[in-house]
């Protein structure tokens, strides 16, 4: 009997221990599940990418020499950059090739049906995601100037008129977006590089066109800088990433000594490539990485979610 009582006592102790452990484990899993549920209920960080063809990573291909959207654009690169820092961005791209500031506001592009605009679509997105942290990049302005600069031509009255349009429309676009954005949304505007610097390789006439276009793209960037600055939005200096103002001479294989800005235009775009892929104004893979780096350098000093971050070196 004494042996039975000892066995029974050990069994009771073991039973009590199992019950205690079970309660502790249930409590632990309850906390974990509760934390997981809380994490699941936190809306993800979005990245709304707006603009023209460059915003959706257009590059020429043998199938579409004029260019088609790719998964190697600057928005995709930026998502990868931020993922490496621990920020998961959910990318939404609303850009439309050829989008101008006027078509952004009033329609008329080939991507949105009559009565709809990229601006309206973007504002709707921001309203339905007002409880989320997010990033919005705005890539507009270059297509306004493009008719004045393309095909090895330069039209000063056209440039002046189009810059006036950019100056008029950008505040409307910015104010519309900011008016519906949630409190944890950051905006970054994009400046522009000048693909027509490559015309400098086409003789004396090309050098003149190149110089004129570089000056006018500089005016465009100044116009954009003013609009974004008034709205408290940083401007990613894409032209600096392409060293568009650097006229120091460098050697380029097969070409000779050319200004640094011309060499970079050839290295970062399709402008110096032979047909059928070139000349094409869009960035290549390296060009899109350069733009993404410029954007990341303009992001707020904190992670979008509030965690301290460091600025990526270019």
pLDDT digits (tens, 9 = 90+) for 188-212: 999 999 999 999 999 999 999 999 9
Of 4 and 271, the structure prediction assigns the larger pLDDT to: 271
pLDDT, averaged across the chain = 85
Which tokens hold the place of 174? 């910015």
Residue 95: phi, psi to the nearest 5? -60, 155
State the angle between helix axes of 118-128 and 156-180 in degrees (0 to 180), rounded to the nearest 10: 20
pLDDT at 138 over 70: yes
If you average pLDDT over residues 259-271, what whole number do you get?
96
Q: Would you place residue 18 in the very low, low, confident or very high pLDDT band (cuts 50, 70, 90)?
A: very low
Q: How distant, in Å, are the alpha carbons of 29, 108, 149, 168 from that of 175? A: 47, 21, 29, 12
Q: Would you place residue 175 in the very low, low, confident or very high pLDDT band (cuts 50, 70, 90)?
A: very high
pLDDT at 25 over 60: no
Q: Are strands 89-93 and 45-51 parallel, antiparallel or unpaired?
A: parallel
Asked whether the whole model's pTM tops 0.95, one would answer no
Question: 33: Cβ–Cβ under 8 A, 6 or more apart, which residues?
Answer: none
Q: Looking at residue 302, what is its pLDDT?
A: 47
- Cα 100 to its chain centre, rounded Å, is 17
pLDDT at 254 over 50: yes
3-state secondary structure of 138: strand
Of 23 and 217, the structure prediction assigns the larger pLDDT to: 217
Of 203 and 73, the structure prediction assigns the larger pLDDT to: 73
Q: Looking at residue 44, what is its pLDDT?
A: 80
Q: Looking at residue 153, what is its pLDDT?
A: 81
């Amino acid at each position: 009997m004494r042996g039975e009582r000892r066995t029974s006592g050990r069994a009771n102790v073991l039973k009590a221990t199992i019950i205690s452990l079970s309660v502790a484990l249930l409590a632990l899993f309850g906390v974990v599940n509760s934390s997981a549920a809380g994490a699941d209920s936190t809306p993800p960080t979005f990245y709304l990418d707006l603009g023209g063809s460059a915003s959706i990573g257009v590059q020429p291909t043998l199938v579409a020499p004029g260019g088609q959207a790719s998964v190697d654009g600057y928005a995709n690169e930026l998502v990868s950059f931020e993922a490496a820092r621990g920020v998961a961005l959910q990318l939404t791209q609303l850009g439309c090739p050829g989008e101008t500031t006027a078509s952004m506001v009033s329609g008329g592009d080939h991507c949105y049906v009559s009565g709809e605009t990229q601006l309206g679509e973007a504002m709707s997105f921001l309203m339905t995601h007002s409880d989320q942290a997010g990033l919005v990049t705005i890539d507009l302005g270059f297509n306004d100037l493009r008719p004045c600069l393309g095909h090895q031509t330069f039209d000063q009255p056209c440039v002046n008129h189009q810059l006036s349009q950019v100056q008029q429309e950008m505040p409307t676009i910015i104010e519309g977006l900011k008016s519906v954005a949630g409190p944890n949304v950051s905006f970054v505007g994009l400046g522009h590089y000048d693909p027509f610097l490559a015309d400098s390789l086409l003789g004396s006439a090309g050098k003149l066109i190149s110089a004129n276009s570089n000056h006018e793209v500089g005016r465009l960037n100044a116009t954009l800088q003013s609009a974004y600055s008034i709205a408290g939005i940083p401007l990613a200096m894409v032209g600096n990433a392409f060293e568009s103002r650097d006229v120091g001479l460098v050697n380029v294989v097969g070409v000779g000594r050319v200004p640094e800005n011309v060499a970079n235009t050839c290295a970062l775009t399709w402008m110096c490539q032979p047909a059928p892929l070139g000349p094409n104004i869009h960035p290549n893979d390296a060009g899109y990485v350069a733009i993404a780096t410029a954007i990341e350098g303009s992001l707020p000093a904190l992670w979008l979610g509030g965690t301290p971050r460091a600025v990526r070196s270019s």
